[in-house]
Amino acid sequence: MSRLVSRALVALLATVPAAFAQVQPPLYPPGYAPSAYPAEASPRSQVFDLTAFAGYQLNGDVGTSAGSLNVGDSPSFGAALDYRVHPLASAELIWIYTKPDANFVSINGAFPSSRAFGVASHYFQIGGMHVRHFGPAEPFLGLTLGAALYVPEAIPLNGGGTVNASDTWRFATTFMLGTKLWITPNVGVRLETRMLMPIVINSGGFYAGTGGSGMAVSGGIPSLQFGFTGGLVFGK
């Protein structure tokens, strides 16, 4: 009888690991289970990816007290480097270039109107994105901060002559929404819409008093640009 009880106890203990494995909570967050994504293309297997892209950018006009700067739409291209800091997040370093034509329409006799001239713009940005994984699709959204550099050509005036404008740096930010479609574990296509926002600081000041001290800055967004791009992405 005792030998029969011992054998039953051994058999019961042998089933405990299997039962525990069945009720153990998964080690992957939702959508990251091995069955949800091929092992050779796991979202955790890539440390960084590099994208070369091109597209078209819609540029907003800029209004001033002396007139309006009409900025045309133009092709754009650039490159982005994404570094994965978490399965659901990446840091991004990006450069965007475009060169639209612009012309100034004056409403003040003290400032002459101009004919069309080119204005090259470079966006240098760093930021982050939230990433999800649905098989080969990797939708994302994110925000970047940095600078925009504007390099205008000589401005031809309607009344004759030209004006040489200096290069201008502006604080800028962008908001992005898009997806990466992985064709293979290391090569894919990136499709994206991005809103670009240069920011002009109008004034700043420092104040101090009995209630404390601080700094106040006023500024605004003179225009919005919307870029629609696509490109090849290479992951590693």
pLDDT digits (tens, 9 = 90+) for 90-137: 999 999 999 999 998 988 877 889 999 999 999 999 999 999 999 999
CATH number 2.40.160.20 is the correct assignment for the domain at 29-199+213-235: yes
- Give the separation between CA 13 and CA 42, rounded to whole angstroms: 36
Q: What is the rounded average pLDDT of the residues 26-38?
A: 46
More confident residue, 6 or 69: 69
Q: What are phi and psi of 136, to 5 degrees?
A: -75, -10
Q: Which pLDDT score is estimated for 62?
A: 86
46 confidence band (pLDDT: 50, 70, 90): confident
Q: How many alpha carbons lie under 13 Å from residue 69 in its C-beta half-sphere?
A: 17
Q: Which residue ranges make up each domain of the chain?
A: 29-199+213-235
* Residue 207 exposed, middle or buried by CB count within 10 Å (0-12, 13-18, 19+): exposed
What token pair was written down for 108?
A: 């003040």
Question: pTM for this one?
Answer: 0.75
70, 97 Cβ separation under 8 angstroms: no
161, 135 Cβ separation under 8 angstroms: no
